[in-house]
C-alpha cells in the first residue's frame, strides 16, 4: 500500500459514535437506528480537494476532473453511446462526457441494459471515446465491477489504462438492470463496501499515484429506502469513494436532503427523461447542491428517433435526400475530425490529402 494513504480502525465522530450507532440527522427527522461495525477510515492527503483548487486545468483527464469537482460550478456530462455521439458532444462544447452502460450495451450489442455487456465491451468503447480528445474527462459506468474484488480491481486498472477519468460501481446483484427499471435487487451493505474498497485499493496501487475518481453508486433507494441508501454512501465515502451517487432520487426535496446528508462529498445525479428522477435541468441540479449531472440516454434516444425517422423516410420515398438535410459526405467527416487528420498529415510531410 502506498505510504501516502492509510486505513485506520476508527469511527468518524461527526457521524457515528459507537458500534451500535444511531444516525439521527438524515432528512431532518429521527431515522431508525442502524447497526454498523467499527470501520476503516480512508486517508490520502494527496487527493484532498484543496490540492486541486488552483492552477490551470491539467491535460490528465482524471486530474482535470478532480479540479472541476473542487472548483465552483456543476459538471455537466452528456451520455454518449459511440464515436458519433461523442464527436457531437465535443462539438457542442461539453467539457466532460459520460459513457452510459445502457447506451454502450445498446450501441455495441443492440441489447437492453440487463448485464449483457462485458468488461471487454465497456473497455473497448472507452478506449475509442477517450482517444477522441484525451484531455476531456470521461466518466464511465462500470456496473457491478463484473465480479468479486479481484475483478473489480481489474476493471479499475483497465478503465484507467483506457484513459477514463472516473467510474461508478454499484450495489445491484450481478444480474443487474438499468437503474430506472423496476424489480432491482441489491447485495448486502458489506458486499457493496467490499466492491468500493477494492476499487479504491486498485486505484491506489497504480504506479505513479493515479488521480482516478471512484464514484460509489447505490440502487438501494427503491429496494431498501432512502435512509439505507444514504447510510451506504456515507460508509462508502469513509472507505475512499470520491463521489456519491444515489440512483432514482424521485423529488427535489430528496435530492437536497441527500446532498446535505452526504456533505462535503460531491453528489452525482442521473437524469433520464421518463425515468425515476425528475427531468432536472443542470441549473436546477446545481441549485440543489449536486456537483455532477449526467444525462445518460440523451444521445441514444435522440439517435433512435432520428434513425427511425430516416429509415421510415427511405422506405417510403426510396431516397435519403430529405433525412440528409443537405449534409454532404465531407461535412459529415468534418464533424468526425477530418480537418484535424488532414492538417496532421500535412505537418508530417504527407501529401495523400492535399485534395479532399
- Kindly list the catalytic residues: 98, 113, 141, 143, 168, 170, 178, 217, 247, 270
Angle CA 230–232–236, to nearest 5: 115
Contacts of 112 (CB under 8 A, 6+ apart): 102, 105, 106, 178
Residue among 163, 159, 93, 153 at smallest CA distance from 132: 163
Q: Are 77 and 98 within 8 A, CB to CB?
A: yes
Q: How many CA atoms lie within 13 A of 312 on its CB side?
A: 6
The answer for residues whose C-beta is within 8 angstroms of residue 270's C-beta and 6 or more apart is 179, 245, 247, 277, 293, 294, 296
Neighbours of 263 (CB within 10 A): 11
Angle value at C-alpha 130, between 239 and 177, nearest 5 degrees: 60
Amino acid at each position: 500500500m502506498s505510504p501516502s494513504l492509510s486505513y485506520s480502525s476508527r469511527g468518524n465522530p461527526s457521524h457515528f459514535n459507537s458500534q451500535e450507532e444511531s444516525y439521527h440527522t438524515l432528512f431532518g427527522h429521527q431515522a431508525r437506528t442502524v447497526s454498523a461495525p467499527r470501520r476503516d477510515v480512508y486517508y490520502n492527503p494527496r487527493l484532498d480537494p484543496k490540492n486541486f483548487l488552483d492552477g490551470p486545468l491539467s491535460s490528465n483527464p482524471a486530474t482535470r476532473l478532480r479540479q472541476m469537482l473542487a472548483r465552483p460550478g456543476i459538471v455537466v456530462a452528456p451520455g454518449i453511446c459511440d464515436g458519433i455521439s461523442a464527436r457531437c458532444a465535443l462539438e457542442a462544447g461539453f467539457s466532460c462526457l459520460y459513457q452510459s452502460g445502457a447506451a454502450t450495451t445498446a450501441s455495441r450489442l443492440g441489447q437492453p441494459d440487463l448485464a449483457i455487456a462485458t468488461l471487454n465491451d465497456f473497455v473497448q468503447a472507452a478506449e475509442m471515446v477517450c482517444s477522441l480528445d484525451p484531455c476531456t474527462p470521461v466518466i464511465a459506468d462500470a456496473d457491478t465491477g463484473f465480479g468479486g474484488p479481484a475483478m473489480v480491481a481489474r476493471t479499475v486498472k483497465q478503465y484507467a489504462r483506457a484513459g477514463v477519468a472516473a467510474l461508478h460501481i454499484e450495489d445491484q446483484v450481478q444480474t443487474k438492470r438499468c437503474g430506472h427499471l423496476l424489480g432491482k435487487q441489491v447485495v448486502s451493505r458489506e458486499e457493496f463496501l467490499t466492491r468500493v474498497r477494492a476499487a479504491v485499493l486498485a486505484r491506489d496501487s497504480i504506479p505513479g499515484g493515479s488521480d482516478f475518481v471512484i464514484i460509489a453508486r447505490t440502487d438501494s433507494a427503491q429496494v431498501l429506502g432512502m435512509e439505507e441508501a444514504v447510510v451506504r454512501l456515507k460508509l462508502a465515502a469513509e472507505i475512499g469513494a470520491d463521489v456519491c451517487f444515489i440512483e432514482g432520487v424521485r423529488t427535489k426535496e430528496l435530492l437536497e436532503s441527500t446532498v446535505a446528508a452526504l456533505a462535503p462529498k460531491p453528489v452525482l445525479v442521473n437524469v433520464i427523461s421518463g425515468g425515476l428522477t425528475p427531468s432536472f435541468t443542470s441549473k436546477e441540479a446545481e441549485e440543489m447542491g449536486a456537483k455532477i449531472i449526467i444525462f445518460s440516454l440523451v444521445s441514444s434516444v435522440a439517435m433512435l428517433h432520428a434513425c427511425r425517422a430516416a429509415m421510415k423516410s427511405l422506405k417510403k420515398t426510396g431516397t435519403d435526400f430529405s433525412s440528409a438535410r443537405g449534409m454532404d459526405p465531407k461535412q459529415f467527416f468534418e464533424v468526425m475530425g477530418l480537418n484535424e487528420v488532414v492538417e496532421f498529415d500535412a505537418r508530417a510531410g504527407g501529401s495523400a490529402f492535399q485534395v479532399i
